[in-house]
Amino acid sequence: MPIIEVKQLTKVFGHDAGRALPLLEQGWSKEKIAQEVKLTVGVNKAEFSIEEGEIFVIMGLSGSGKSTLVRLLNRLIEPTGGQVLFKGNDVVGMNPEQLRQFRRKNIGMVFQKFALFPHRTVLANAEYGLEVQGVEKKKRTELAMQALELVGLKGWEHHRPDQLSGGMQQRVGLARGLANDPDILLMDEAFSALDPLIRKDMQQELLELQARVKKTIVFITHDLDEALRIGDRIALMKDGVIVQIGTPEEILIQPANKYVERFVEDVDLSKVLTAAHVMRQPEMVRPERGPRVALQLMRDSGVSSLYVADKEMKLQGVITAEDAAQAIKENKTILEVLRREIPRVHPDTLLNDLFELMSETHLPVAVVDESDRLKGIVIKGAVLSALAGNAVPEGEHV
Amino acid sequence: MNIPKIPLGQGVEWLEKWLTTYFGPVFDVIHAVIGGMVKGIENILTFLPALVLIVIIAALAYWIGKWRMALFAVIGLLLIDNLGLWGPSMQSLALVLAASILAVLIGVPIGILCAQSNAVKNTITPILDFMQTMPAFVYLLPAVSFFSLGVVPGVIASIIFAIPPTIRLTNLGIRQVSPELVEAADAFGSTPSQKLFKLQLPIALPTIMAGINQTIMLSLSMVVISSMIGAQGVGALVYRAVSQAKTGAGFEAGIAIVVIAILLDRLTQNALKPKQR
């Protein structure tokens, strides 16, 4: 079961906002409603579900309704219509006390401008969520310290927020959100106020953190690069409407409409696509087959080199046609003539990081996993074709 | 066209009479409470010998401010004692403290209510304007008819005159807390009172203290006016000196008020600073 299910969720701002609901039902646009009944549609019938442990990114430009949408999830903004279900329970129908408990136990939040309490120390900030729950002092200090350690702020607990840099302040925000161990963490443009370099570090750390604590994260951003880097799935919003929901690849490769297409056309694909996206099935041979077989295989498939891997697919090296010919002449085995010094990369390596490696070698780059098993090879043509925006045909994936 | 004069004055007098007739017992209770409070504070202040109290105040001044403030406290208070004005000064101080304490006890909660509801704020604001701009002499009269002569109507008049800054600045201080912080407190499931005590009041405290400081100063400025309806103290000495055209005596009593004013002002202004560090 999804942890969050959102059905027909709608927010209209203005006096007696409910009267806009039937109009939206009839398909009136945001502009038409603004002009004719003077109401502002913030979120228009959003519909999605979030799985446990997922990083779900809601992305859109300013004014697209993404910050409103995230606040509808914990009712910092009251929905005008529709449903939010948390593990099947209706959040919209909760009374104030139930809502408070839901916010205390199940859903934490990290804010764009950090929103740290200036009169409290770093530790007291991290403790806040536990404190309002009535957790006793010793226990909450312990939990808050754990959260601070998790975000790398050990030793800073007695400082005040204004003594910290922006990146560190947001770590405090993150620790505050994590300290009461919520099921879901809402992050509203959490890294947007940070310098680009610090921002990238924080994205990386968030991914590492997520791998450890396995929270469900709803991440709001206006930055497509950020969305592509951290999102398991991305919902793209425009004018209060969710235009497309999909994995980063789906959004890039199959944009749902012209808007998404325009949005993603400026993306630097080399920073999004990885070796795994462009690699092909390698031409390979097992060492015990001997140089003659290798040479024959090369002739058959019209290549000038072969990858050599053992029965477990462990990469041994590369043998070229010349090497094979020489081995036959001198009666050597493949293992004796094989070149072991060959470029290898992990499947998650970004294309951007492949360029230098590829310019230094005339051989294709081998893609291997952690235990050195050959997964595929990357040739220059495939990289260029991917960067030109051509989808890599499924059949050529390993 | 001849519009008859609206009988506003008669109306107010009728209301005054009506209140004294039907709320007499209530006013008696208030009279007893405030009278007891002033007397209590005065007894505490005069129980100790002047020199001992001077040392205590100087120590307080040193703790809150630094040695310069302590030095001023010692010299200023010794001067008051030397001029033979210690007793009357403590009487006036008791009046000011009683009025200020009551003004804060009433004013801060009203300020909090104003901050939480625009309706309350919009009702209270014109009343505060009225209280601050109506000449203080005017509400001395009903105060006297409700509470008779003496220190109690003086305290009441001082509260009315001095309470607006506390209410206004409490309201302002809370409203100035950034909406993002309030949203964060909400997002973590704070109850309204947790939000108030853990977030809004602590952040508004410097602003509220500025209001309290003004309230104390304003109630001190009522000392002389209160003496016109029988409140004892240095205010009465100033009043008497003025009516008898005694410049020297008036100046001496005036100096005593200045010393108390400066001490109260500096002490309340600096009271928060060391704790903020």
d(CA A328, CA A330): 6
Tell if the CB–CB gap between A111 and B184 is shorter than 8 Å: yes
What residue of B is the nearest CA neighbor of A119?
B203
Would you say A332 and A292 are in contact if contact means Cβ atoms under 8 Å apart?
A: no
Q: What is the pLDDT of residues A353-385, one digit of tens each?
A: 888 888 887 778 888 888 888 888 888 878 877
A100 belongs to a structural domain: yes
- Cβ-proximal residues to A344 (8 Å cutoff; 6+ apart), any chain: A315, A365, A366, A367, A368, A372
In this predicted structure, what is the pLDDT of residue A390? 61
A360's tokens: 């230094």
Question: Is the pLDDT at A388 greater than 80, yes or no?
Answer: no
Over residues B208-216, the mean pLDDT reads 93
Q: Say yes or no: A42 and A178 in one domain.
A: yes
d(CA A165, CA A150): 18
A291's tokens: 């140089």
In this predicted structure, what is the pLDDT of residue A391? 53
Would you say B85 and B259 are in contact if contact means Cβ atoms under 8 Å apart?
A: no
If DSSP codes are grouped into helix, strand and coil, which group holds residue A118?
A: coil
Q: Say yes or no: A141 and A288 in one domain.
A: no
Q: What is the pLDDT of residues B190-203, one digit of tens each?
A: 999 999 999 999 99
The interface pTM score, or ipTM, of the predicted complex is: 0.77
Question: Is the pLDDT at B274 greater than 80, yes or no?
Answer: no
Question: Is the pLDDT at B277 greater than 70, yes or no?
Answer: no
Show which of A230, A254, A270 is a domain's final residue: A270
Q: What is the pLDDT of residues A337-355, one digit of tens each?
A: 888 888 888 888 888 888 8
* CATH number, position A43: 3.40.50.300
Q: Say yes or no: A266 and A289 in one domain.
A: no
* CATH number, position A384: 3.10.580.10
Q: What confidence category does residue A398 fall into, taking pLDDT thresholds of 50, 70 and 90?
A: very low
A325 belongs to a structural domain: yes
In this predicted structure, what is the pLDDT of residue B238? 87
Tell if the CB–CB gap between B187 and A109 is shorter than 8 Å: yes
The model's pTM: 0.76
If DSSP codes are grouped into helix, strand and coil, which group holds residue B149?
A: coil
Strands ordered across the beta sheet of A4-13: A40-50, A4-13, A81-86, A89-90
Q: Say yes or no: A99 and A240 in one domain.
A: yes
- CB-closest option in A74, A104, A115 to B181: A115
Q: Which residues form the domain of A323?
A: 275-388
Q: What is the pLDDT of residues A110-124, one digit of tens each?
A: 999 999 999 999 999
A53 belongs to a structural domain: yes
Show which of A270, A303, A325 is a domain's final residue: A270
- CB-closest option in B181, B183, B189 to A117: B181
Tell if the CB–CB gap between A109 and B191 is shorter than 8 Å: no
B60's tokens: 């307080």
Q: Say yes or no: A226 and A288 in one domain.
A: no
Q: Which of A180, A53, A231 is nearest to B189 (CA)?
A: A180
A62 belongs to a structural domain: yes
Q: What confidence category does residue B273 fall into, taking pLDDT thresholds of 50, 70 and 90?
A: low
d(CA A123, CA A147): 10
In this predicted structure, what is the pLDDT of residue B190? 94
Question: Is the pLDDT at A265 greater than 90, yes or no?
Answer: no
Tally of domains in chain A? 2
Over residues A94-119, the mean pLDDT reads 94
Maximum mean pLDDT: which of A117-121, A210-214, A221-225: A117-121
If DSSP codes are grouped into helix, strand and coil, which group holds residue A200?
A: helix
Q: Say yes or no: A182 and A55 in one domain.
A: yes
The neighbour count for residue B47, using CB atoms within 10 Å, is: 9
Distance (Å) of CA A338 to CA A358, B77, B127:
20, 100, 96
Q: Say yes or no: A104 and A225 in one domain.
A: yes
Shortest CA gap A349–chain B (Å): 38
A397 belongs to a structural domain: no
A141 belongs to a structural domain: yes
A79's tokens: 């929905």
Q: Say yes or no: A12 and A113 in one domain.
A: yes
Question: Is the pLDDT at A395 greater than 80, yes or no?
Answer: no
Q: What confidence category does residue B272 fall into, taking pLDDT thresholds of 50, 70 and 90?
A: low
Show which of A220, A236, A270 is a domain's final residue: A270
Question: Is the pLDDT at A315 greater than 70, yes or no?
Answer: yes
In this predicted structure, what is the pLDDT of residue A71? 95
Q: Say yes or no: A136 and A154 in one domain.
A: yes
| DSSP assigned state of B48 | S
Tell if the CB–CB gap between B202 and A131 is shorter than 8 Å: no
Shortest CA gap A105–chain B (Å): 9
- Domains by residue range for chain B, with CATH: 22-270 (1.10.3720.10)
Chain A with chain B: Cβ pairs closer than 8 A: 56
Q: What confidence category does residue A288 fall into, taking pLDDT thresholds of 50, 70 and 90?
A: confident
Question: Is the pLDDT at A55 greater than 90, yes or no?
Answer: yes
Distance of CA B193 to the CA centre of its chain: 27
Over residues B238-244, the mean pLDDT reads 87
Shortest CA gap A122–chain B (Å): 14
Q: Which of B226, B220, B115 is nearest to B177 (CA)?
A: B115
Q: What confidence category does residue A85 fall into, taking pLDDT thresholds of 50, 70 and 90?
A: very high
Question: Is the pLDDT at A19 greater than 60, yes or no?
Answer: yes
Portion 142-161 of A in contact with B at CB < 8 A:
none
Q: Say yes or no: A261 and A280 in one domain.
A: no
Q: Say yes or no: A264 and A298 in one domain.
A: no
